Structure 1
Amino acid sequence: MSNELAGKVAIVTGGAGGLGRGIAERFLAEGAKVVVGDLGDGPPLSGDYKFLETDVADLDQIERLVSTTVETFGGLDIMVNNAGVSGTMHRRFLDDDLADFDKVMAVNLRAVMAGTRDAARHMAEHGGGSILNLTSIGGIQAGGGVQTYRASKAAVIQFTKSVAIELAHYEIRVNAIAPGNIRTAIVKKSAAGEDLERLEQFEEAIRAQMRNDRPLKREGTVDDVAEAALYFAGDRSPYVTGTVLPIDGGTVAGKVIQRKPK
């Protein structure tokens, strides 16, 4: 590690597991002080780190997360709005009662907007900073299933680009990462009302299709996403804002051309 984030303070929402934990671990390894906001218990991370139980659906708790970080570590340089939920899976959209619409939008979109706003309020008065929002290739590429989730992630992309224009005045960079087909536990959390075994079979069928459509055949990892987050968070990208970077093995670039054997 190159100690790339030495002296910097970061927040990672949803950092107790999955992509968020991978990002938090990478930031800590690069010398950052990190505050993880998530539900439940804090992960056993190594480094200068603090866990604050946070429900990002509650705007007051997001504000507390930012203010506690500033009070604890003396500032805030990097905000990663990572916390997200997939929503309940249905076999078809015609069966979707939209009962989880408010929850999905509250976590996946409103919390991103509030986290960006609250972090930017501090950064605007302290020389700027970097804000990174986690979206998904589901917000870029149309497809069936989890339509509320797709809509929320598409909204994050438009918000990221729009707010990047406004916050550039304060030397605040705002970018987004769009992971695709990277295994985390988010799908299992959407199993309410569904048989978990059938849900896992459905998920595996989707992943198999995505593997077939993906130009790069190796599987994406949490480390791939963490490396991209490090690029946006540190000093390597001072001229980059309003960008959405897919981490998807080329999936959204287009389907693989099946070549006939000679």
Structure 2
Amino acid sequence: MVSELSGRVAVVTGGAAGLGRGIAERFVRAGARVVVADVDREAGEATVAALGPNAVFRPADVADPDQVWGLVQFAADSVGGLDIMVNNAGVSGTMHANFLDDDFADFARVMAVNLLGVMVGTQQAARHMAAHGGGSIINVTSIGGVTAGRSVISYRASKAGVIHMSKSVAIDLAEHGVRVNCIAPGNIPTGLLAGAVAGEGADGRVAAVRAVMAVSRPLRREGTAADVAEAALYLASDRSAYVTGVVLPVDGGSTAGAPFKAEDLVKLAVAGEAAR
């Protein structure tokens, strides 16, 4: 299975760090030529240097549709085509204590990167794929777009939009042999959460959020970028040739439900009352 992407070209946006880098690494090991796209030129160049000759860096800000178009053209003209598009680049909104405190200062940027960037990336990749025998588009959403929750509302809205958009265009593009699927990661340590929490005591707040995630996750171990990369490999490969329009959570079971026992719920209720 190690060479199941041999001869294929993939683009991974946000590929210089976190989940994107993990996906790029896995695709290279599976035999693909990978275009790592990122706004961070230094990190992107370091990533492709580590990945070897089958990886190339292309700077791109997915919030700019022209740069996304240029990215797809670069893959097609300079790397040899485009068989797999992973729209992974994303940003988090600022975490406010309450929705009523949100000033929406980061709304435009969150939507431009997380939703518009994915929509344009999907469209531009699909235009090439439709004319060249099909392909696989993988859009990285979040369990925050699957289940409701407090805080980072703009982020949650953007990720929910990715899901509905992806399902809709999966129907539209199926006649061209273009598959569109989503991965919904959850409870996986990346820099995204830290980016949502700023100011004094940020490290402590990040740790507290991670602790809540841990007790809300049925599987006891923490997820990794490699877990997400394996899901991406499946959706990119011929093993999923009959799969389109799905959302695959990679979250340790979190979207299935919290693993609290009855006595745990009682303790939480008592603690909540005491805190009032």
Counterpart of 1:37, as a letter, is A
Give the alignment of 1:118-197 within 5 angstroms.
118-191=124-197, 194-195=198-199, 197=200
User: Are residues 260 and 88 of structure 1, via their aligned partners in 2, closer, same or farther at CA, if it must alter by over 3 Å?
Assistant: closer
Counterpart of 2:221, as a letter, is R
Counterpart of 1:243, as a letter, is V
Question: Would you say 1:46 and 2:52 are equivalent positions?
Answer: yes
Residues in 1 aligned to 2:206 and 2:213: alpha-carbon distance in whole angstroms: 11
* Bigger mean CA deviation after superposition, 99-108 or 39-48: 39-48
Residues in 2 aligned to 1:96 and 1:154: alpha-carbon distance in whole angstroms: 19
User: Once the two structures are superposed, what CA deviation does each residue of 1:169-210 show, in whole Å capped at 9, x if it has no partner?
Assistant: 10000000000010011122334xx31x52222222122111
Aligned to 2:269: none
**2:194–2:206: 8 Å Cα contact kept in structure 1?**
no
User: Are residues 4 and 203 of structure 1, via their aligned partners in 2, closer, same or farther at CA, if it must alter by over 3 Å?
Assistant: same
**1:36–1:51: 8 Å Cα contact kept in structure 2?**
yes
Q: Secondary structure at the match of 1:63?
A: helix
Q: Secondary structure at the match of 1:186?
A: helix
Aligned to 2:18: 18
Aligned to 1:248: 251
Structure showing greater radius of gyration is 2
**2:218–2:252: 8 Å Cα contact kept in structure 1?**
yes
Residues in 1 aligned to 2:29 and 2:53: alpha-carbon distance in whole angstroms: 7
Q: TM-score, normalising length from structure 1?
A: 0.95
Question: Would you say 1:62 and 2:68 are equivalent positions?
Answer: yes
User: Once the two structures are superposed, what CA deviation does each residue of 1:86-111 show, in whole Å capped at 9, x if it has no partner?
Assistant: 01121221111001111000000000
Question: Would you say 1:73 and 2:79 are equivalent positions?
Answer: yes
| Percent pairwise identity | 60
Residues in 2 aligned to 1:132 and 1:94: alpha-carbon distance in whole angstroms: 34
Q: Which runs of 5+ in 1 are unaligned?
A: none
Q: Secondary structure at the match of 2:192?
A: coil
Q: Secondary structure at the match of 2:62?
A: coil
Q: Which runs of 5+ in 2 are unaligned?
A: 265-276
**Which residue of 111, 116, 120 corresponds with 1:110?**
116
**1:164–1:174: 8 Å Cα contact kept in structure 2?**
yes
Residues in 2 aligned to 1:235 and 1:211: alpha-carbon distance in whole angstroms: 34
User: Once the two structures are superposed, what CA deviation does each residue of 1:90-135 show, in whole Å capped at 9, x if it has no partner?
Assistant: 1221111001111000000000000000000000000000000000
- Name the one with the larger helix percent: 2
Question: Would you say 1:3 and 2:6 are equivalent positions?
Answer: no
Q: Secondary structure at the match of 1:149?
A: helix
Counterpart of 1:185, as a letter, is G
Q: Secondary structure at the match of 1:236?
A: helix
**2:11–2:84: 8 Å Cα contact kept in structure 1?**
yes
Residues in 1 aligned to 2:53 and 2:157: alpha-carbon distance in whole angstroms: 36
Q: TM-score, normalising length from structure 2?
A: 0.91
Aligned to 2:239: 236
Give the alignment of 1:203-218 within 5 angstroms.
203-218=206-221
Residues in 2 aligned to 1:40 and 1:161: alpha-carbon distance in whole angstroms: 30
